[in-house]
Amino acid sequence: MSGLYLWWGDLARGLHLPEAFQYPFVARGIVAILLLAPLLGGLSHLVVARRLAFFSTALGQAALTGLTIGVTIGEPLNAAYASIFGFCLLCGVLMVYVRRQVLLPADTVVGVFMAFTLGLGICLLVAATRQFNIHQIEAVMFGSLLTVTDADLLVLAIVAVLVGAGLFATYNLVLSDCLSPQLARAQGAPTALIEYLFVVVLTMAITASLKVIGALLVEAMVLVPAAAARNLARSTRGYLAWSVVLAVVTGVAGLAVSTLWRVPTGGAVVLALCLCFFLTLPARALRRA
Rounded Cα–Cα distance for residues 55 and 199 (Å): 9
Rounded Cα–Cα distance for residues 74 and 122 (Å): 18
This prediction has a pTM of: 0.86
The confidence score (pLDDT) of residue 134 equals 63
Q: What would the pLDDT profile of 140-183 be if each residue is shown by its tens digit?
A: 777 776 678 888 888 899 999 999 898 888 888 888 888 888 88
Asked if 250 and 270 count as a contact pair (C-beta separation under 8 A), the reply is no
Across 30-39, b (16+ Cβ under 10 Å) vs e yields bbbbbbbbbb
Asked whether the predicted pLDDT for residue 286 surpasses 80, the reply is no
Spell out the CATH class of 2-288: mainly alpha
Rounded Cα–Cα distance for residues 190 and 220 (Å): 29
Rounded Cα–Cα distance for residues 5 and 8 (Å): 5
3-class SS string, 43-75: HHHHHHHCCCHHHHHHHHHHHHHHHHHHHHCCC
The confidence score (pLDDT) of residue 183 equals 80
Q: Above pLDDT 70, what percent of the chain?
A: 91
Tell me the domain boundaries of the chain: 2-288
